[in-house]
Amino acid sequence: MSEIIRTEHLSYVYSAGTPFENAALDDINISVEEGTFLGLIGHTGSGKSTLIQHLNGLLKPDSGKVYIGGEDIWADPKKIRRFRFKVGLVFQYPEYQLFEETVRKDISFGPRNMGLSEEEIAGRVLEAAELVGLPENYLDKSPFELSGGEKRRAAIAGVLAMRPEVLILDEPTAGLDPRGREHILGEIAEYHDRYGATIILVSHSMEDVARFADHVLIMDHGHAAMYGTTREIFRRVGELTEMGLEVPQISRIFAGLAARGIPVPESVLTVGEAKEAVLRLLREGGGV
Amino acid sequence: MLKDITFGQYYPGTSVVHRLDPRIKLILTLAYITMLFVADGMIPLAVGVGFVVLFYALARLPAKLIFKSMKPVVPIIVFTAVLNVLFIEGEPLWTFYFIKITKEGLLTAALMCVRILCLIAGSSLLTYTTSPIVLTDGLERLMRPLSAIKVPVHELAMMMTIALRFIPTLVEETGKIMSAQKARGADMESGTVIQRAKALVPILIPLFVSAFRRADELALAMECRCYHGGEGRTRMKQLSLGPQDWIAVLVVAAGFAGIVLLNLYGPPVLKL
């Protein structure tokens, strides 16, 4: 596997030179392999949103470099749009960016900006709509007629239609009901599997990250505080709690059990895994 | 980029100028502007300049604020000056082919420039030292007599307050929408004028939609708190005039009288 994203000493300061100066990012060095599903976690104001906006060149680093697919994205500032198509970014509440008369036109906004042929655009729109589960007859409706969850899916389809190699989503499930959340997360996982795309999922839900992500990056006060596989990170319950972050409930329970000397694996990420572990324990007749 | 836009440019402080009653400040600003146009020579106008300097000093505002407020009008000033210098007939000082520079032209140009600068500095002082909300309050009180002829003064003031309140929100929203569309490859920096105007559509439509949504939500929230307009409504902060307000009125009145006297009896130098 090859490296798709690399940052070197990436730093960014808000309102430089004023009393409000605020280091949003401080010396971030990360490397992400192609096909990774990365969960990005941190408090509000920890620099998550600033970081992801650097990865597609919406923000320009004050110092340091960002490489996408081995290329320095700011080597030629005129060509920065190329990287916006390579790295698709879905903002928080993306439904507020819908603007076209029909869902179809809105989804084709990105591909059209890429300069693709009409034929290609039409195909991509259908595919993106199918991927997010929007029925074909919705495509000729006005985006403003859709329900909240459908709008969100239409907006995500607008980014998927660009078929980005890296897909970044900033809290895509915020404000949705449980069914809507499942829907969206399922679609993201589907995109990941179908195209082998790299995914960065910004989320406050540790459960969601534990279920889907294979790597986790923890941001804290503009620093990359921890970076590793999901299992490694969620094992460090103590450190995470100290930062004021949660770990998945089930991981916390198992960390607690292990600490009390019960022979269970220290790091358990999902309820399914937990079930297996408990059953194994009972079969072996050990423990309590 | 959008974050740099400051509206209302209020510069918080506790100076005596900040504490003046907004009604008095509004009236005095109008009086000051009139004063600038009454002055017909450099000497009376100097009194006007003195006023700006005095009040900025009293308000303890950093000098760079004055220059900041003047920056946008520099082109207008240059334009006015050039027109005046070139086109006013009178006693020629210097001629070059068809260009003729006259004494009257130079003097008018100088007078106009000083006037415009003082005008901007004076009215900026009002907005620097008065928060937009307080200013609206003052306006509402000053316009109250108009309600006798069925002008909805309170409603207008409320609309203005709400509009001011939502400017930063909408600016922030615009920034977000711009980023989102740029992430989908929207190109706003290049192309012909028409292409650039078209590129605004994906930003303006979501912005309008969100403005209407916010308006609906706000209206609902206000109704939930039984807001029903101005009738019988009392205020938490009552405006009242203090000694400093009367002193300010006297100072400006004295300045006004001084200018009129200088106009009539002052030395006839640098005058039109």
B96 contacts: CB under 8 Å, gap ≥ 6: none
Q: pLDDT at position A21, please? A: 61
User: For chains A and B, what is the number of CB pairs under 8 angstroms?
Assistant: 58
- pTM for the structure as a whole: 0.75
Task: Please tell me if residue B12 touches chain A, with a CB cutoff of 8 Å.
Answer: no
Sorted by where each begins, the domain ranges of chain A are 248-288
Q: Is the pLDDT of residue A266 over 80?
A: no
Q: Does position A125 have pLDDT exceeding 90, yes or no? A: yes
Q: Do B205 and A113 touch (CB under 8 A)?
A: no
Which of A79, A83, A81, A89 has its CA nearest to residue A48? A89
Of B176, B182, B201, which is closest to A84 when you measure between CB atoms?
A: B182
Query: Distance (Å) from the C-alpha of residue A171 to the closest C-alpha of chain B?
Result: 14
Q: Quote the pLDDT of residue A1.
A: 62
Nearest to A91 among B3, B176, B209 (CB): B176
The pLDDT score that the predictor gives to residue B33 is: 93
Confidence check: pLDDT of B3 > 50: no
pLDDT at B8: 53
Test A96 with B181 for CB contact under 8 angstroms: no
Rounded to a whole number of angstroms, the distance from the CA of B1 to the nearest CA of chain A is 10
- Per-residue confidence (pLDDT) for residue A269, from 0 to 100: 84
B187 touches chain A (CB under 8 A): yes
In this prediction the ipTM stands at 0.86
Q: Does B123 touch chain A (CB under 8 A)?
A: no
Tell me if chain A has a CB within 8 Å of the CB of B76: no
- With 50 as the cut, is the pLDDT of residue B269 above it? yes
Nearest CA in chain A to B209: A96
Report, as an integer, the average pLDDT of B57-74: 83
Chain-centre distance of CA A44, in angstroms? Answer: 15
Assess whether pLDDT exceeds 80 at residue B191.
no
pLDDT exceeds cutoff 90 at A23? no
Calculate the CA B85 to chain-centre distance: 27
Query: If pLDDT is split at 50, 70 and 90, which confidence band does A15 have?
Result: low
Mean pLDDT of all residues belonging to chain A: 89
Q: Nearest CA of chain B to the CA of A163: how many Å? A: 11
Q: Mean pLDDT across the stretch B68-92?
A: 84
| A:65-104 residues touching chain B, CB 8 A cutoff | 81, 84-85, 88-91, 94, 96-99
Contact map slice: B 150-179 vs A, CB within 8 A: 173, 176-177, 179
Q: pLDDT digits over B142-183, tens only? A: 988 888 898 888 888 888 888 888 888 888 899 999 999 999
Q: Tell me how close the Cα of A105 comes to any Cα of chain B, in angstroms.
A: 12
Mean pLDDT of B47-53: 89
Higher pLDDT: A149 or B2? It is: A149
- Around Cβ A198, how many Cβ atoms within 10 Å? 22
Lowest mean pLDDT among A57-71, B16-30, B74-88: B74-88
CA-based nearest residue to B258, from B30, B24, B46: B46
C-alpha distance from B180 to closest chain A C-alpha (Å): 6
Q: Least CB-CB distance to B177: which of A84, A96, A162?
A: A96
Is A109 in Cβ contact with B186 (below 8 Å)? yes
Question: B71 pLDDT exceeds 80?
Answer: yes
Rg over alpha carbons for chain A, rounded to the nearest Å, is 21
Which tokens in the block code for residue B261?
């006297």
Mean local confidence (pLDDT), A50-55: 93
Per CB-CB distance under 8 Å, the chain B contacts of A21 are none
For an interface test with A, the pick among B6, B173, B184 (most A C-beta atoms closer than 10 Å) comes out as: B184
A101 → chain B, closest CA residue: B205
Min mean pLDDT across A49-53, B199-203, B232-236 is at B232-236
Is the predicted pLDDT of residue A97 greater than 60, yes or no? yes
| pLDDT (average), residues A123-134 | 93
How high does pLDDT run on average in chain B? 86
* CA distance linking residue B219 with residue B269, whole number of Å: 61
* pLDDT of B272 higher than 80: no
Q: Is the pLDDT of residue A161 over 90?
A: yes
Please give the DSSP secondary-structure letter assigned to residue A188.
H
Question: How many other CB atoms sit within 10 Å of the CB of residue B94?
Answer: 9
Who among B184, B187, B206 is closest to A96 (CB)? B206
Looking at residue B164, what is its pLDDT?
Answer: 82
What's the pLDDT band for A19 if we cut at 50, 70, 90? Answer: low
Inter-residue contact A208 to A248 (CB < 8 Å):
no
B202/A contact by beta carbon, under 8 A: yes
Work out the pLDDT band at A254, boundaries 50, 70, 90. Answer: confident
| Nearest alpha carbon to residue A63 among A87, A29, A34 | A29
